[in-house]
Amino acid sequence: MTGYMALLKESGLKATFQRLHILEVVDKYGHIAIEDIYDKVIKIHPSLSVATIYKNIIIMVEKGVLVEVPIMGRKSKYELSKLDHIHLVCTQCGEVEDLACTKDINNILDFLTQEEKFKLTKQQINLYGTCSQCQSQKILQK
Amino acid sequence: MTGYMALLKESGLKATFQRLHILEVVDKYGHIAIEDIYDKVIKIHPSLSVATIYKNIIIMVEKGVLVEVPIMGRKSKYELSKLDHIHLVCTQCGEVEDLACTKDINNILDFLTQEEKFKLTKQQINLYGTCSQCQSQKILQK
DNA sequence: ATAATTGCAAATTTTTTGCAGGTTC
DNA sequence: GAACCTGCAAAAAATTTGCAATTAT
């Protein structure tokens, strides 16, 4: 609990119960959609409103406390910010599992192929950043 | 135009003008959000309704003609189905660029670092498939 | 004390649905 | 001509907003 408080304060956010509960739930479930965060949190904090969930998800993502995991065919899930890793997304049940991001992609594929770990059907590698055009526009703006 | 017709028929979908126009627009822009597909398509086909866009995106994704590209902080974009590749997503302007998916990830990172190609800030690698739990449930169902 | 945050209710935006009429094969 | 599709309008779902009351620091 104290860990989340520190996390919020470092990010310049007040440590409200609402936020602490949201973080607790996200941490517990690993990857969770907004609606499910709401469902879980109102069980421990019944007066919490949906608007508060939305406002907080937005600001906590902005501050880098949470990370959005957008998923094909489903609502985005959210996770605590952590070192880069790979997401195994089950298209049947929607669960997301983290996989350590080793240097060697081939090892990962071998690992998955083993037995019946995960039957891969589609991959999506997205790199986020600033394109060259936007980089040069930034320079001009200064 | 004929290419799209074949594509649709192979997928068991009727080749309506609406669908052909949607595919044309997606192809032209590479990666495009639903709202923007609508805006572009009504220019060449003013009577087309939003409901038709939604219904068709859904069915064309289902049939594998289109692929959803879910993006952090934005609406999903859609692209024509093609060989696996990497997406460079600009967090400033939202544009998505394709990058050939070479065997060697390191080459890619080197390539990006060059000059001012793309200033990488965050990566997300998502592998889609069936988790072991759902695989065994399937076996039981049969 | 004060600046930030919450909860509420209303407004907006996005997506889905049902069905009558039209189109493709 | 049969099955499939479209457009419309209404419904449902998801998200955002403004503001008065409350809370964290």
**Same domain flag for A18 and A60:** yes
Q: What pLDDT is recorded for position B137?
A: 84
A62 and A73 assigned to the same domain:
yes
How far is the C-alpha of B129 from the C-alpha of B102, rounded, in Å? 21
Q: Within this chain, do residues B70 and B47 fall inside the same structural domain, yes or no?
A: yes
pLDDT value, residue A137: 84
Which residues neighbour A13 within 8 Å (Cβ) at sequence distance 6 or greater? A19, A59, A60, A63, A65
Give strand pairing partners of A129.
B90, B120
Q: What is the mean pLDDT of residues B89-118?
A: 84
User: Last residue of some domain: A81, A112, A130?
Assistant: A81
Residue A43 has a pLDDT of 97
Chain A residues lying within 8 Å of B92, measured CB to CB: 130-131, 134, 137-138
- B1 & B65 share domain: yes
pLDDT score at B142: 43
Same domain assignment for residues A123 and A56: no
| Mean pLDDT on B77-98 | 96
Give the mean pLDDT of chain B. Answer: 92
Percent of chain B with pLDDT over 70: 94
A35: Cβ under 7 Å from strand D?
Answer: yes
In this prediction, residues B2-31 reach a mean pLDDT of 97
The total number of structural domains in chain A stands at 2
Residues A24 and A60 in one domain: yes
- Looking at the structure, tell me whether residues A119 and A136 fall in a common domain: yes
Å: A12 CA to D7 C1' = 50
* B24-64 pLDDT tens trace: 999 999 999 999 999 999 999 999 999 999 999 999 999 99
State the pLDDT confidence band at A140, using cuts at 50, 70 and 90: low
Round to a whole number and report the distance in Å from the CA of A77 to the C1' of C20.
40
Last residue of a domain, one of B31, B59, B81: B81
Is it the case that residue B103 has pLDDT exceeding 80?
Answer: no
CB within 8 Å: A120 and B129: yes
Above 70 in pLDDT, residue A142? no
**Same-domain pairing of B77 and B87:** no
- Which residues in chain B are closer than 8 Å to A100, comparing Cβ atoms? none
The whole domain housing B140 covers 83-142
Query: Do B129 and A119 count as a contact with CB atoms less than 8 A apart?
Result: yes
Return the bridge partners of B88, or none.
A127, B97
